[in-house]
Amino acid sequence: MFTFRTMPWLRLFVSILLLGSVFTAYHMAGVQGEARIPPFVLIRLEDVGPGGQYGSIEQLGKLRAVLEYLQEQHVAYHIALIPRWIDYPKDGPAYDVRLDQADHPYVAAFQKVVKDALSSGAIVGMHGYTHQVGQSRRDDGHHESGIGNEFDVADVAETQTKAFAEERMREGLAIFRNAGITPQFWEAPHYHTTAAQDEVFRSYFGLQYQSEVQAHRNAPAAIYMNGRNEGSTLGAAYVPTPFDYIPSNKDERVILDRLGKSDNIGSFFYHPFLEFKSLIPVTDEEGDQLYRDGLPVYRYPDKNVSVLQKLVAGLKAKGYAFYSIQDYVPFTPAQHVTAADGSLSRLLLGDADGDGQVDRIDWNERNGDVSVTLGRYQGVRNEQPGQAAKWGRMAYKKGAAAAVSGRDEKGPCSVWKADPNGKLEWYAASGGRFEPSGSWTIDARAWDSLYTLPLAGGDLLVAGLTQERRELYGWLLHKDEMRPLKPYKLRSELRSELQARRESGGTLFAAKDGASAGIEFKPDTQKLEWTAARAGLDLPNEEGKLRFGDYNGDGLEDVFRWNSRTMTGTVYLRTNEAGWKLLSGFGPWGVPGAEPKLWIADADGNGKSDLALQDSKSGDLDVALSFIRQ
């Protein structure tokens, strides 16, 4: 009954190998079935900000034409944005424009260009605060935004301190916040910083779009720093630009000629103003300049003449994919959330307050207290989450198990508890409380774990695995009515972990480590029984566990293969043809051997599944967010 259309996955895999772009970042070395991703490039538009080459309405119109061209060409791209532009020209007054001066028509137009780019899929990062140094003109030019060093300037001692980095970071983030733009990565001006300052940057951003210059300056691919940052957050990824950039006196061949000749990822940056000379003003019949949203309209020539046009055409001809940094590093190491009662609590995850973000629900095994720490995943990673607050009480007995279900008519989430003395209890979240909302008699059994499966038509199935892991129970909930399923008896103890899947209308799936097929339990809501069948997935048999989730938010269930020995994983995206596309690897993230529990949940509420590692001793959570877009 469970048929999976076979996809020529293997053929695809082999052809990827033949194309030769091997994902050889050394963090993946030694991993069985080392992830191989199709050839790709990463393009970053560099030094964009409210001044310099972008300082007028005309130049802004031209910048918009470049961004819209990339969008039309389906090119994923990034913008390294400088939030405050400062310059001290030789003749004339000082220049100082911030991205949050929305009453300034030029800045308002600038914001609109950036926000339109964001809504079309561009990824914006923070490229320093001013990308210059000092409050006066200097002979070496470092007083000018986009040109100057900002950190670790040899003759300005204060720029070498950690406190300076922290202050600039806060100032820059405040401008972004006021402008309504959330940067997704950090890039230090000219990658010029001290090691101590980099610690500060990692504590604010889990994604660094630059090489890790202190110890891995020439890394060919992503580097994962896998320690604790200041503020307890875990890890950070560095994505280098080993292809450097196209200088103004060179052309697209600087990039195209280097492709496929080394282990370097095809990651580089480009200054979009270099395109401006190729752009053509769009005029009306009388020859007058056309305007849109207050900016003059420009277009590209029909033939590929500019460097960017020839670059995009050349990359397409060579079969390169345009990756975003969040395709390449599919999860951004983010917040740390401490456990309410340390090791005494059992963790549940659910959206208790209904704001779309996942909250931490701790159930204290000693006194039965249920406390909630509200999830805060949309801001900076080192912002402290709220304090845990008591939301209710659920008596705990040895052999009890609990699970969370999503929104229903009573509230944003519910906690379900199966008691060993023969009770199934429902606690619905409402107004800062978990209220007892129903209770049914069930078989008196000790439970290993409890699961919830949302079913079509708003019904819910709560499933319980007995403590000896040999029987699967199910309780169908239709409005206030509960109907038990006939327990399913397994031939032997179920050794693999069960996880809920939403494909095939809601099932429970278990597979051995390293397998690509498993057993799937499906509730038959008519006959009130479980059916069990082998389910194959057509994925390679790599080391690690399969974890299901919709990582890219397209509505299809994807797979994350997680190897807890190396703390690395691989994302396989479900394609519309019911096959798989290997997207990228991730990690190492977390301490090998510490055996934390890996949760899959949409922590930030953006419709895309994220990762959360639960420390086996402290119960603390570390979160890594997928495909963050604004």
Q: Which is nearer to Zn ion, 2 or 191 (CB)?
A: 191
Place of tokens 């949203």: 293
Q: Please, how many CA atoms are within 13 Å of residue 100, restricted to the half-sphere of its CB?
A: 14
Q: Beta strand 78-81 with 123-126: parallel, antiparallel or unpaired? A: parallel
Q: Which is nearer to Zn ion, 325 or 400 (CB)?
A: 325
Q: Which is nearer to Zn ion, 47 or 615 (CB)?
A: 47
Structural tokens at position 292? 């849109």
Residues 6+ apart with CB under 8 A from 81: 48, 49, 99, 114, 124, 125, 126, 127, 181, 183
Q: How far is the CB of 129 from Zn ion (least distance, A)?
A: 12
Q: Which is nearer to Zn ion, 82 or 295 (CB)?
A: 82
Q: How far is the CB of 144 from Zn ion (least distance, A)?
A: 11
Q: Which residues bind Zn ion (CB under 5 A)?
A: 47
Structural tokens at position 357? 């973000």
Q: How far is the CB of 75 from Zn ion (least distance, A)?
A: 21
Cβ(545)–Cβ(562) below 8 Å: yes
Q: How far is the CB of 257 from Zn ion (least distance, A)?
A: 24
Question: Rounded to 5 degrees, what are φ and ψ at 274?
Answer: -65, -15
Cβ(100)–Cβ(181) below 8 Å: no
Measure Cα distances from 98 to 101, 102, 105 in Å: 6, 9, 12
Q: Which is nearer to Zn ion, 270 or 599 (CB)?
A: 270
Q: How far is the CB of 308 from Zn ion (least distance, A)?
A: 18
Cβ(432)–Cβ(391) below 8 Å: yes
d(CA 145, CA 83): 10
Residues 6+ apart with CB under 8 A from 287: none
Q: How far is the CB of 127 from Zn ion (least distance, A)?
A: 6
Q: Which is nearer to Zn ion, 47 or 87 (CB)?
A: 47
Q: How far is the CB of 244 from Zn ion (least distance, A)?
A: 12
Q: Which is nearer to Zn ion, 173 or 403 (CB)?
A: 173
Q: Which is nearer to Zn ion, 243 or 363 (CB)?
A: 243
d(CA 94, CA 581): 52
d(CA 572, CA 397): 40
Q: Beta strand 78-81 with 84-87: parallel, antiparallel or unpaired? A: unpaired
Q: Residue 92: exposed, middle, or buried by beta-carbon count in 10 A (0-12, 13-18, 19+)?
A: exposed
Q: How far is the CB of 463 from Zn ion (least distance, A)?
A: 54
Q: Which is nearer to Zn ion, 125 or 569 (CB)?
A: 125
Cβ(431)–Cβ(423) below 8 Å: no
Q: Which is nearer to Zn ion, 150 or 212 (CB)?
A: 150
Q: Which is nearer to Zn ion, 110 or 151 (CB)?
A: 151
Amino acid at 414: S
State the sign of the Cα–Cα–Cα–Cα dihedral 446, 476, 459, 410.
Answer: negative
Q: Which is nearer to Zn ion, 47 or 602 (CB)?
A: 47
First to last CA, the chain: 41
Which among 499, 86, 513, 73 has a CA at the least distance from the CA of 321? 73
d(CA 628, CA 630): 7
Q: How far is the CB of 187 from Zn ion (least distance, A)?
A: 7
Residues 6+ apart with CB under 8 A from 381: 203, 204, 205, 206, 231, 233, 333, 334, 335
d(CA 234, CA 195): 17
Q: How far is the CB of 128 from Zn ion (least distance, A)?
A: 7
Q: Which is nearer to Zn ion, 47 or 558 (CB)?
A: 47
Residue nearest to Zn ion (CB): 47
Q: How far is the CB of 138 from Zn ion (least distance, A)?
A: 17
Q: Which is nearer to Zn ion, 159 or 335 (CB)?
A: 159
The per-residue DSSP string of 486-518 comes to EEEEPSS---SPEEEE-GGGSEEEE--TT-SEE
d(CA 198, CA 349): 32
What angle in degrees, to the nearest 10, is found between the helix axes of 57-72 and 307-317?
A: 10
Q: How far is the CB of 519 from Zn ion (least distance, A)?
A: 54
Q: How far is the CB of 170 from Zn ion (least distance, A)?
A: 20
Q: How far is the CB of 146 from Zn ion (least distance, A)?
A: 6
Q: How far is the CB of 161 from Zn ion (least distance, A)?
A: 21
Residue 283 DSSP label: B
Q: Which is nearer to Zn ion, 47 or 327 (CB)?
A: 47
Cβ(296)–Cβ(58) below 8 Å: yes
